[in-house]
Amino acid sequence: MRIESVDLFHVRMRLKAPFETSFGVEHDRDALILRLRGEGIEGWGECVAGSFPGYSYETVGTAWHVLESFFLPATLGQDLAGVADFRRRIGAYKGHPLARAGLELALWDLLGRGDGVSLARQLGGTAARVPVGVSIGIQPDAASLVGMAERFVAEGYRRVKIKIKPGRDVADIGAVRAAFPELALQVDANSAYALEDAPVFEAMDGMSLLLIEQPLAEDDLLDHAGLQRRLSTPLCLDESILSVRHARQALDCGACRVINIKPARLSGLSEAVAVHDLCLSRGIPVWCGGMLETGIGRASNLALASLPGFVLPGDISASDRYYAEDIAWPRFSLNRDSTIDVPTGPGLGIEVDEGALRKVTLRRQTFNG
Ligand code: OSB
Ligand code: MG
């Protein structure tokens, strides 16, 4: 497949409500949308780098830079034999997994559309619908957090994740647990704690949590292993796992018992599938994380989560969870059993709404091969 042109769109999507995590508050979701053109077909991708280096060091600005200066020149005008060939061509460059993943996704979509095969099938997915949950940001107080959880449970979500940070943890979780004694509940600290905070996690250990996500620093597998030894609740790693090698080492040293798979953080769907395969072979449960994706990234997450190892509900809520107006059709809605259908059309199985895309685009540029 010869890549003839790439369009980059810096978009800013208004969130229905601010989303607060331990690393900051977002009122709008910035992202990069990519369109690849080749042989009369187009493919779409989403790079989930945001407006500030909070979750990751990458931002829309750094992603634009490495794409324009390095990844696109290695790709444009080239006859790519496939995704593995593409990965080889940019393989000598270091870092910037979110930028890589956005471009890789557009290539998967382009190839899938060319072959008339859905992304789920390209990746080896088997499920027609996948279990999902909702992620709730830090709220002004515990009462409003419980109110939020009530709203989402009433909408049909059967698994809730709440964001925590120091000072907003055990009491908040206790309030939600008291209101919903049976709810599948998990928490995400986004690396806001240190091993000295172990007593905070010991206090959560009796609250029947499905898992505790990324309590400690992203580059700290050793202390995660130390913390895991003191808890019976499984630790789940998100930010720490950037490759299949990290996944293997984290499991070998006991740093976690569950892995959150995000293609962006793992530099693309290929590495995400590799982590899935490793975990499946070792009996380690995985689930698909989210990055407040538009309909493009959401479709990709649904396809990935259809692989057999994704046994825990993903952070893949319905399209109307974050945005009043998405940039792709169809919208994804929640089924009564807290699942969402996996798209079946070629590639991502969606159509980008170019009018809606134009409305949220701050900057756009075309690069030709
Ligand atoms: O750590 O999982 C995370 C959102 C932005 C950055 C990091 C995370 C999240 C979420 C939201 O938890 C998941 C979603 O609903 O997309
Ligand atoms: Mg997380």
pLDDT tens digits, residue range 106-153? Answer: 999 999 999 999 999 999 999 999 999 999 999 999 999 999 999 999
Q: What is the pLDDT of residue 166?
A: 98
Q: Which ligand is nearest to the CA of 22?
A: 1
Helix%, strand%, coil% for the chain, nearest 5: 35, 25, 40
Ligand 1 atom 12, closest CA: 135
Closest C-alpha to ligand 1, atom 5? 291
pLDDT of amino acid 343 = 98
User: Is 262 an active-site residue?
Assistant: yes
| Residues lining ligand 1, Cβ inside 6 A | 55, 135, 188, 190, 238, 289-292, 315, 317
Instruction: Give the model's pLDDT for residue 123.
Output: 98
pLDDT at residue number 54 = 96
Q: Choose which residue among 132, 315, 317, 334 to substitute to test ligand 1 binding: the one with the highest number of ligand atoms within 8 A of its C-beta.
A: 315
The mean pLDDT value for 340-345 works out to 98
Average of per-residue pLDDT across 301-321: 98
Expressed in angstroms and rounded, the spacing between residue 35 Cα and the centre of ligand 1 is 24
Tokens, residue 368: 């030709």
143 by Cβ neighbours in 10 Å (0-12 / 13-18 / 19+) ranks as: exposed
Question: What integer best gives the mean pLDDT of the chain?
Answer: 98
Which pLDDT tens digit goes with each residue over 188-216? 999 999 999 999 999 999 999 999 999 99
Residues comprising the chain, all counted: 369
**Atom of ligand 1 at shortest range from CA of 289:** 2
CATH 3.20.20.120 occupies which residues in the chain?
121-341
pLDDT digits (tens, 9 = 90+) for 151-173: 999 999 999 999 999 999 999 99
Whether the CB-CB separation of 2 and 25 falls below 8 Å is answered with no
The catalytic position among 16, 161, 262, 359 is 262
| Total-model pTM | 0.98
Going through the chain in order, the beta strands assigned E by DSSP cover: 5-21, 24-38, 41-47, 129-131, 134-136, 159-163, 184-188, 212-213, 235-237, 258-261, 286-288, 328-329, 339-341, 351-352, 361-368
H/E stretch holding 200 reads helix 198-204
Domain range 121-341, its CATH number among 3.20.20.120, 3.40.50.720, 3.30.70.1400, 3.10.20.90:
3.20.20.120
Residue 94 appears among annotated catalytic residues: no
What distances in angstroms separate CA 310 from CA 126, 155, 158, 232, one per listed residue?
Answer: 11, 23, 16, 22
State the CB neighbour count (10 A cutoff) for residue 130.
25
Q: How far is the CA of 79 from the centre of ligand 1 (A)?
A: 35
Distance of CA 156 to the CA centre of its chain: 21
Residue nearest to atom 6 of ligand 1 (CA): 291
**291 C-alpha to ligand 1 centroid (Å):** 5
Tell me which residue of 267, 197, 244 sits closest to 259, measured CA to CA: 244
User: Where residue 283 falls among pLDDT bands split at 50, 70, 90?
Assistant: very high
**Which atom of ligand 1 is least distant from the CA of 163?**
12
Instruction: State the pairing for strand pair 41-47/328-329.
Output: unpaired
Which residues of the chain are in CATH 3.30.390.10 domains? 5-116+353-368
C-beta separation of 14 from 359 below 8 A: no
| CATH number of this structure's domain 5-116+353-368, picked from the four choices 3.30.390.10, 3.30.70.1350, 2.40.40.20, 3.40.1280.10 | 3.30.390.10
pLDDT at 341: 98
pLDDT at 245: 98
Give the chain's count of helices (H) and strands (E): 12, 15
User: Residue 66 to residues 34, 51, 71: CA-CA distances in angstroms?
Assistant: 14, 16, 6
pLDDT at 282: 98
Radius of gyration over alpha carbons of the chain, in Å?
A: 20
**Amino acid identity of 179?**
A
Catalytic choice (94, 161, 163, 165): 163
| Distance from Cα 293 to the centre of ligand 1, integer Å | 9
